[in-house]
Amino acid sequence: MSQNPEADASALGATVVEVRESLVLIEVDDKAAVKKNEVGFVHVGEERLKAEVLRIRGRTADMQVFEDTSGVRVGDAVEMTDEMLSAVLGPGLLGNVFDGLQNPLHVLADQFGFFLPRGATVPPLNMTRTWEFTPTVSSGDRVPPGGVLGTVPEGPFVHKIMVPFGEREPVTVSWIGAGHFTLQDVVARIESNGQEREVTMMQRWPVRKPIPESLIRRQFAERLFSQEPLTTGTRIIDAFFPIAMGGTGCIPGPFGAGKTVLQSTIARYSSVDIVVVVACGERAGEVVETITLYPETHDPRTGGTLMDRTIIICNTSSMPVAAREASIYMGITLAEYYRQMGLNVLLIADSTSRWAQAMRETSGRMEEIPGEEAFPAYLDSSIKSVYERAGVIQCPDGSQGSLTMIGTVSPAGGNFEEPVTQSTLGTVKTFLGLSYDRAYKRFYPAIDPLISWSRYLGQLDPWLSKNLDPNWGRDIAQLRQLLLDGDTINQMMQVTGEEGITLEDFVTWQKSVLIDMAFLQQDAFDEVDACMPRPRQLASLRMIKRLVTLDFGFTNRDEARNFFTQVTGLYKNWNYSPPDSPDYAKYEQAIETAIQEQLAK
């Protein structure tokens, strides 16, 4: 190709007519066609800058460029690809760190060093590695779109090679291979409507289009009502504010409230198969910590490292705004791909506030009418369209897969009334609000039990009642009410002091503090207390329920204070004790002894 942009323009079909930072306005040749979300490349000398069409007006279109646009000028050629911004799906995704356009960052660093040249791209997956393909169907079999043709081992999982999701009807397998293949080798041939097509172990899918959409419409896959909770090992979440498997949740909180530690704990201990972390605008230092921590973190589920079943999409706040906006869609598409295999997938987006800020910057450059706080008027619908891609589905092979989405929100100054937080709260069904005051007091997790909520309580109550305790829902409601009563009494004490309340109210307040300190708080850095399985959570809940319902007959405030301080210390030591250790039984007996001694008084 000639290095003269004006000479190339007619051949490529479009030229740049205006540049607004990361946004370029292009004019399309009369013989060419352009589609929304189509990918194109702006040619600047020998560099090809990837871009995506956002808006079309007649023969002109607005494109967001995923690179620095320095040097782009009017008249530069734009090469249109006739392809949507897509993810490459296939074996080898797990354990990788990608940017928002699915460029593997480690491979880029190995090839180009720490300072990546503009326009540098490499294949998302290793095209030379061979995988052992085992067919699960035979020639002549009819298979629906998304149906399984064969499997390959990928780390601790069986990776299913599926009929391309874009097929419109069930296909007939005319030939299928077996053995070792690269991702580009043909492993099967399929027929439909008299046409034969070749199938490899990888396929592409547009990131802004949900994978199951065409499958659901044709009843090859079916959305299900989630009835099982996601077990995180964090007591305040599992007991008070549960998230359904395949559900949605958000963790808003100010800077320094512990969002990063909490999401790492959830990623490590949750009852899911695959974890996808999308760092869509988080600070570079925190992302580097995640990238270095996950490969060194022991995974209790597989026995390997947490990175073995994790995919990280990395677009920090210092990376191009346009790529930050696309990164969340890339992460969701990769998560949906593994969900289609019948696996349970958890996607953590950190932070959706900066993703929304990227949309605000792009919207401003497009001169769209702004909404509240200059965010685009379609902010609410964009947030809803992202979280609506979560869910549980019945796969064509009869297995069930789920995608659970948890987004962290970073409102400026911890203001939960700002547009991104409010739109998110109107979409998700679990709200885990982090409090700066609780974080300042070194409470972890700093989830405020007085402002947080879960709309899954009624939905999950049958499962909790059947698998844990028939009175689970009622007990949690009573403990929550005790926390509310204790907070009201504490506010009175701030004005009147302890002498301004009755002894009965003082005891109620002490019981609420016991619940908070002994049950709701956990030590994320303790090997035992960082994660509490549900059976032990049930034992802990029963112990707490008994403690707060007994009438100890205290005669004065000091007696009550001393008793609850003693029990709280014993309870915390019990939390730190492994269930098969002598300390477990020792502290459990010590709590019971303290109760009996107080009752005897």
What residue numbers does the annotated binding site for ATP cover? 253-260
- Name the CA radius of gyration of the chain, rounded: 28
Asked whether the beta carbons of 256 and 410 are under 8 A apart, the reply is no
Give me the residues paired with residue 192 across strands: 195
Beta pairing class for 131-135 and 179-181: antiparallel
Read off the DSSP letter of residue 377: T
Element (H, E) at 216: helix 212-217
Please tell me what DSSP assigns to residue 247: -
DSSP string, 436-505: HHHHHTT-SS-B-TTT-EETTHHHHHHHHHHHT-TTHHHHHHHHHHHHHHHHHHHHHHHHH-GGGS-HHH
Is the Cβ–Cβ distance between 560 and 489 less than 8 Å?
A: no
- C-alpha span between 394 and 221 (Å, rounded): 6
- Tokens representing 219? 């009843």
Q: Which residues, in sequence order, are CB contacts of 405 under 8 Å at separation 6+?
A: 247, 248, 249, 332, 347, 349, 386, 387, 389, 390
Q: Six-digit token pair at 341?
A: 């295999």
β 344-350/400-409 pair status: parallel
Say how far apart CA 383 and CA 386 lie, in whole Å.
5
Cα–Cα distance for residue pair 246/248, rounded to 1 Å: 7
Residues found in the chain: 601
192 backbone φψ class: left, alpha, beta (φ>0; ψ -120 to 50): beta
Residue 4 three-state SS: coil
State the Cα–Cα distance between residues 50 and 64, nearest whole angstrom. Answer: 9
Please, which residues bridge with residue 189 across strands? 175, 198
Residue 597 corresponds to which tokens in the numbers above?
Answer: 């001694």
SS3 407: strand
**Binding site listing:** 253-260
- For residues 123 and 139, the answer to whether their CB atoms sit within 8 Å is no
d(CA 540, CA 534): 10
Other beta carbons within 10 angstroms of residue 377's beta carbon come to 12
| Strand (E) or helix (H) holding 60 | strand 60-65
